[in-house]
Amino acid sequence: MAEYAKLYIGGSWVDPVGTERLDVIDSTTEDAFATIPAGAAADIDRAVAAAESAFGSWSAVAPADRAGHLRQVAARLKARREEIADIETREIGMPRPLSAAMQVEMGIRAFATAADVAETFPFEDRGDNWVLREPIGVVGAITPWNYPLNQIGAKVAYALAAGCTVVLKPSEVAPLSAFVLAEIIDECGFTAGAFNLVTGVGPVVGEALAAHPDVDMVSFTGSNGAGRRVAELAGPTVKRVALELGGKSPNVILDDADLPTAVAGGVASAFLNSGQTCSALTRMIVPRAHLAEVERLARSAAESFTVGDPFDARTRLGPLISAVQRDRVRGYIVRGLAEGARLITGGAEAPDGLDRGYFVRPTVFSDVTPDMTIAREEIFGPVLVIIAYDTEDEAVEIANDTVYGLAAGVSGSEQRAHRVARRIRAGQVRVNGERPSWDAPFGGYKQSGLGREHGRYGLEEFLEVKAVFAA
């Protein structure tokens, strides 16, 4: 049992004000394998005060020097890559090779890319007007459990690159990579208080951070309900709010697409990280004339996802994060059947031989209509729905018939796919499986959130714009 006893505040490891502890659970065994402090509102007060005190010094550090600090972080994260991959595999259940290649690598890339952006960003523009872009101040970062280090990097790296100081509240379900990051930052010579770490539960430390009057901005990733609560708490102090929330992303397959490639890629997207990906392409929208072939291909692809221990090299689909999430996903599968969807493969029963651990069968539904619950609500598990269409206009209408707008996919001939991509209301659209670059803006339309992360657009979220008029 690993015990993390202290919080990182003001450049030092300090005792929390209380003694309550939280268990971190191995999603495969259901056993606790670490404990962390359950912070209190008073701990947030201390961390915000430290960040506020450090802001003047850290914001005055030249962008190139801030970039240098971030590159040190990236290098040290890389040196501890295998350790972090083991941690995140135990916490969230992603197969171990993917944890190293995605979970850890995306976090490393966030710090390295933020450094690159900071070195080249025009913080001062002497064009027609004299315009300064200055750090907004103290940032409260509240991050989720599904991609822990990546989401921390998307907020912390770019806020620090902008010259802001940060108080991080990671998910209490998957917090351990945040402790590794704090250890690394402590080694890299940052201004004391530029980065602070407080762990605990959302209703206590998360809400205290969002509401704190000395926090200038809160950046949150998580569920829509929690995002609305963060915005509500931030409202009285009119602080800036950035929200990266849910998705029910469409994957439009046109009738001239390469069906085997498009369907296999779509299933892989839907099941990535056991479906616990906000941008997963979970609605496969296909030509009615090709429905039977798509069903056959989707079933074959889904059944190739071997479920099991994420440390087993044969495993392609690990457990979900928790018993609550497992039961929630199984409940959606039951509801899909009750509402008339046709099960192609999978189901609500535990996978064979896996009664322990938070496992769900890779599941595909067809005969799904846009009004069904499984077509409208974010399931956040390995569940794919197939919806048939008759015309391109109908496909676009179905794609946009959602309160979300985070991501989308389109497969088909280049001209047609580009045309459809322009018509879909989403923050990212992948054409023929093209992957986003590391500095591409990430964020959504509609109820998928406010603002963008990564690259230049991610840096700009943490900046104020000042016009100066001088003789």
- What's the Cα-to-Cα distance from 321 to each of 37, 329, 360, 365, rounded to whole Å? 20, 11, 11, 23
Alpha helix positions (H), 304-438:
323-338, 373-376, 392-400, 414-423
Place of tokens 């093209």: 434
**If you count them, how many residues does the chain have?**
471
- The strand pair at 7-9 and 342-345 is best described as unpaired
- Tell me if residue 244 is catalytic: yes
For 126-156, letters b (16+ CB in 10 Å) and e give: eeeeeeebbbbbbbbbbbbbbbbbbbbbbbb
Pick the catalytic residue: 105, 278, 378, 453?
278
DSSP state for residue 249 in the 8-state scheme? -
Q: Which residues pair with 364 in a beta bridge?
A: 345, 384
Query: Which region, left, alpha or beta, applies to residue 273 given φ > 0 means left and ψ of -120 to 50 means alpha?
Result: left
Q: Please indicate whether residue 278 is annotated as part of the active site.
A: yes
Neighbours of 342 (CB within 10 A): 13
165 - beta bridge partners? 138
Structure-token pair, residue 83: 């350790």
Q: Which of these is catalytic: 244, 295, 378, 461?
A: 244
Q: Any idea what DSSP says for residue 101?
A: I
Beta strands 195-197 and 165-169: pairing type? parallel
CA distance 304 to 123: 50
Contact 400, 425 (CB under 8 A): yes
Indicate which residues carry an active-site annotation. 244, 278
